[in-house]
Amino acid sequence: MAAPSSGPVTTLAWRGDAHVGHVVLLDQTRLPDEEVELEVHSAAEMIAAIRCLAVRGAPALGVAGAYGLVLALRELAGRAAQHLELVRARAAELAAARPTAVNLPAALARVRARAERELAAGADARALREALLAEARALEAEERAASEAMGRHGAELLADGAGVLTHCNAGALCTVGLGTALAPLYVAARQGKRLRVYADETRPLFQGARLTAWELARAGLEVTVLVDGAAGHLLARGAVQAVVVGADRIARNGDVANKVGTYPLAVLARRHGVPFYVVAPCTTLDPACPNGAAIPIEERDAREVTHPRGIATAPHGVRAFNPAFDVTPAELVSALVCERGVVHAPNEVRLAALLARAPAP
Ligand code: MRU
């Protein structure tokens, strides 16, 4: 089904009630050529949509996973003991759809815990569906509010006239709100600041060229796309005053997993004395993960490298290395921007203090 082509981007939404409703996704595999809505009616369909990146980006994956578990409740039959078994099994399958973004297993743990509480209190299938939909909707609302807050805090770091370089897509398409790394750009633009935005094309799946350029241009922001390898030259020319990226998982010590190619950007930024900002909600922090070496890094099909957009660019049969993410050590991160504020030079002590603080109103 064709999606509307103007107005705010709706990355994903629940349509209908808890019993016969479904999820609608803007199919990101089809952008920027076509705006097509994908209807998702089961947990298995949600897993397929996550694996093929029809829905992607850490906060959006969390919300998609949560709704995926609500969809799984269609399969409920039999006694309450079996309900719990089904919820646990589908939560584990959804969480395994992609391994790096912690938002996905964290959201599923949250919704599964709600299911356990409801079932312990004697909920029947109908009540369980309603409770889990309410939980997923609450997560969606929290992520939307977090986007706005990250936008406000991050915009303070961006001066009028600045050149800002970003990688992958960390905008409205990776969340259910304004975005993570792009949220400060949207807020700065609302404040009347004029920014020159540079978007790495982001090999091999081109989230920068296809998605970031699409959503920024649609919102009326000036954007220039460059091949990933041109970032060093751009920084050397002094065209960039800030690098802003999102994150898929931030370890307890502040190491950051994000789209492959982020780590070299952080090294370049340090070399050229340009601040390197990571913008991510607290749901992307993983205090259980001690450091970057412990973050699971997804490796994807070699054909994404050898056949970008379906076109062979390497000799037939050649091997390819295709990690979807890399790890930037905390020492290269100038500041973490989250909904609770800005943490300069994040490390284990500062992140623990951040998590101990009450959420911003
Ligand atoms: O493979 P993707 O497109 O899901 O990777 C997404 C990213 O790496 C984003 O930069 C990340 O999720 C941060 S945006 C919240």
Given ligand 1 and candidates 27, 143, 258, 282, which is best to mutate, with the most ligand atoms within 8 Å of its CB? 258
Q: Which residue has the tokens 């951040």?
A: 354
Spatial CB neighbours of 193, under 8 Å, sequence gap ≥ 6? 155, 158, 159, 160, 161, 162
Atom of ligand 1 nearest to the CA of 56: 4
Going from the Cα of 215 to the center of ligand 1, the distance in angstroms, rounded, reads 15
- How many Å apart are CA 64 and CA 238, to the nearest integer? 39
pLDDT at 1: 56
pLDDT at 358: 72
Atom of ligand 1 nearest to the CA of 58: 12
- How many Å apart are CA 38 and CA 85, to the nearest integer? 29
Spatial CB neighbours of 346, under 8 Å, sequence gap ≥ 6? 250, 254, 278, 330, 333, 335, 336
Atom of ligand 1 nearest to the CA of 168: 10
Going from the Cα of 352 to the center of ligand 1, the distance in angstroms, rounded, reads 24
Asked if residues 234 and 224 have their Cβ atoms less than 8 Å apart, the reply is no
pLDDT at 76: 83
pLDDT at 236: 98
Q: How do residues 25-51 score in pLDDT, each as one tens digit?
A: 999 999 999 999 999 999 999 999 999
Asked if residues 265 and 167 have their Cβ atoms less than 8 Å apart, the reply is yes
Going from the Cα of 300 to the center of ligand 1, the distance in angstroms, rounded, reads 14
Considering only CA atoms, which residue is closest to atom 8 of ligand 1? 259
3-state SS, 130-182, equals HHHHHHHHHHHHHHHHHHHHHHHHHHCCCCCCCEEEECCCCCHHHCCCCCCCC
Q: How do residues 144-180 score in pLDDT, each as one tens digit?
A: 999 999 999 999 999 999 999 999 999 999 999 999 9
Atom of ligand 1 nearest to the CA of 325: 8
Going from the Cα of 207 to the center of ligand 1, the distance in angstroms, rounded, reads 9
The gap from C-alpha 88 to its chain's centroid, in whole angstroms, comes to 24
Atom of ligand 1 nearest to the CA of 171: 14
Atom of ligand 1 nearest to the CA of 245: 10
Going from the Cα of 168 to the center of ligand 1, the distance in angstroms, rounded, reads 6
pLDDT at 8: 79
Spatial CB neighbours of 329, under 8 Å, sequence gap ≥ 6? 255, 266, 292
pLDDT at 48: 98
Going from the Cα of 198 to the center of ligand 1, the distance in angstroms, rounded, reads 17
Q: Which residue has the tokens 């091999």?
A: 204
Q: Name the strand (E) or helix (H) holding 224.
A: strand 223-226
Sort residue 261 into left (φ over 0), alpha (ψ -120 to 50) or beta: left
Of 27, 248, 286, 326, which one is the catalytic site residue? 248
Given ligand 1 and candidates 29, 53, 56, which is best to mutate, with the most ligand atoms within 8 Å of its CB? 56
Name the residue type at position 199.
Answer: A
DSSP class per residue in 282-329: GGGEETT--SGGGS---B--THHHHSGGG---S-TT-----BSEEEE-
Residue 229 has a CB neighbour count (10 Å cut-off) of 12
> What does pLDDT average to over the chain?
96
pLDDT at 132: 98
Asked if residues 108 and 57 have their Cβ atoms less than 8 Å apart, the reply is no
pTM (2 decimals)? 0.96
| 35 DSSP 8-state letter | -
Q: Name the strand (E) or helix (H) holding 12.
A: strand 12-15
For residue 313, pLDDT over 80 is answered with yes
Going from the Cα of 286 to the center of ligand 1, the distance in angstroms, rounded, reads 16
Given ligand 1 and candidates 51, 53, 144, 174, which is best to mutate, with the most ligand atoms within 8 Å of its CB? 174
Residue 275 has a CB neighbour count (10 Å cut-off) of 17
Name the residue type at position 249.
Answer: R
138-146 mean pLDDT: 98
Name the residue type at position 44.
Answer: A
235-248 mean pLDDT: 98
For residue 2, pLDDT over 60 is answered with no
Residues touching ligand 1 (Cβ under 6 Å) are 53, 56-59, 101, 168, 170, 174, 180, 207, 246-248, 258-259, 324
Q: Which pair of structure tokens corresponds to residue 343?
A: 């943490």
For residue 102, CA distances in Å to 23, 30, 61, 282 come to: 21, 25, 9, 11
- State whether residue 279 is helix, strand or coil: strand
247-268 mean pLDDT: 98
Length of the chain: 361
Strand partners, 43: none
For residue 4, pLDDT over 90 is answered with no
Query: Between vectors from CA 108 to CA 126 and to CA 175, what angle results, nearest 5°?
Result: 105
pLDDT at 80: 72
| 334 DSSP 8-state letter | S
In this prediction, residue 82 has a pLDDT band, given cuts at 50, 70 and 90, of: confident
In this prediction, residue 209 has a pLDDT band, given cuts at 50, 70 and 90, of: very high
pLDDT at 360: 63
Whether 248 sits among the annotated catalytic residues: the reply is: yes
pLDDT at 72: 96
For residue 142, pLDDT over 70 is answered with yes
Given ligand 1 and candidates 168, 277, 328, which is best to mutate, with the most ligand atoms within 8 Å of its CB? 168
For residue 284, pLDDT over 80 is answered with yes
In this prediction, residue 77 has a pLDDT band, given cuts at 50, 70 and 90, of: confident
Going from the Cα of 268 to the center of ligand 1, the distance in angstroms, rounded, reads 20
pLDDT at 361: 57
